[in-house]
Amino acid sequence: MGGRTDAAMELLEHVQHDFGEGPYLQAFAQDRAISIQDLQAAPAWTRIAAVVGQLHVAGVLSVPVRLAGQPVGTLDVYSTQPRPWTARELEAVAEFAAVAAELVTAGVELANRELEVAQLRQALTNRVWIEQAKGVLAATRGTGPDAAFQQLRATARATNRKLAEVAQEVVQDAQRDRLAARAQQDPRARDAEARAQAAEQALQAAQADLAQRHRLADERQRAADDRDNIADERDRVAYERDRSADHRD
């Protein structure tokens, strides 16, 4: 047994699932330990024989892992040489399978508890939003808590949304309205808003000036390039004229 069989074991596992036969699946289906002294010599699984012949695997021991008395998987042990599995080895692997089942059970129970806590926390959060929204509607529309709740429910149904989502929106809109009203009444808030607007206008002006500078620079560069091209053309014409004069001489 050893890590060098890991790749072969992965291949063997896939082949068993593909063909629907093999020691894993038999141990799982029959809910009992399956021990194979030499997998390559086992006549029970003819369809996986071609693949088994290419693997460095001989002895196989598969033991079911049970949850609530039902098999949910197998714990598998391999040997690269033919191996007559002893009762002590079978007992040891079964003990490991029991430990694995306990770990899986503990993990499932922990996940269930975490899910329950998350659901309770979400339910509490939703209830808080709904109660706050009822208060907002009662205060702003002059209705009672029951009528406010009916308004929330009607809006949720009409918009095909959850009641808590609509309630959260009502509360947050009311909070924004209060903040906006306070800002209008606070001179410091008005001054800060005016400064922000002035800064935004200054930034836009600076950006426009920079863009204009870039355009002027590009135009000057194009003009300089044109002058260079004209000078080069003149030099070429003069050179050709001089060559023609030399030939005549």
Q: What is the domain class of 105-185 according to CATH?
A: mainly alpha
pLDDT score of 49: 67
Q: Which of 3-12, 48-57, 196-205, 226-235 has the lowest mean pLDDT?
A: 3-12
pLDDT digits (tens, 9 = 90+) for 130-150: 888 888 888 888 888 888 889
pLDDT score of 2: 40
Q: How far apart are CA 92 and CA 205, in angstroms?
A: 81
Residue appearing with tokens 């200054």:
202
pLDDT score of 64: 92
The CATH classification number of 3-85 equals: 3.30.450.40
Please name the amino acid found at residue 166.
V
Q: How far is CA 124 from CA 115, 129, 131, 147, 166, in A?
A: 14, 9, 11, 22, 16
Q: Is 160 a residue whose pLDDT tops 90?
A: yes
What's the pLDDT band for 3 if we cut at 50, 70, 90?
A: very low
Q: Which of 41-55, 74-88, 149-163, 212-226 has the lowest mean pLDDT?
A: 41-55
How much is the average pLDDT of 58-63? 87
Contact 40, 87 (CB under 8 A): no
Contact 168, 129 (CB under 8 A): yes
Q: What predicted TM-score, i.e. pTM, was given to this entire model?
A: 0.47
Better-predicted residue by pLDDT, 56 or 29: 29
pLDDT score of 206: 77
pLDDT score of 1: 46
pLDDT score of 185: 66
E strand or H helix at 154: helix 145-159
pLDDT digits (tens, 9 = 90+) for 62-119: 999 988 888 888 988 888 888 899 999 999 999 999 998 888 888 888 888 888 888 8
pLDDT score of 92: 92
pLDDT score of 232: 81
63: its two tokens: 């033991």
pLDDT score of 65: 92
- State the average pLDDT for the chain: 82
What is the separation of C-alpha 72 from the centre of its chain, rounded to a whole number of angstroms? Answer: 28
What's the pLDDT band for 187 if we cut at 50, 70, 90?
A: low
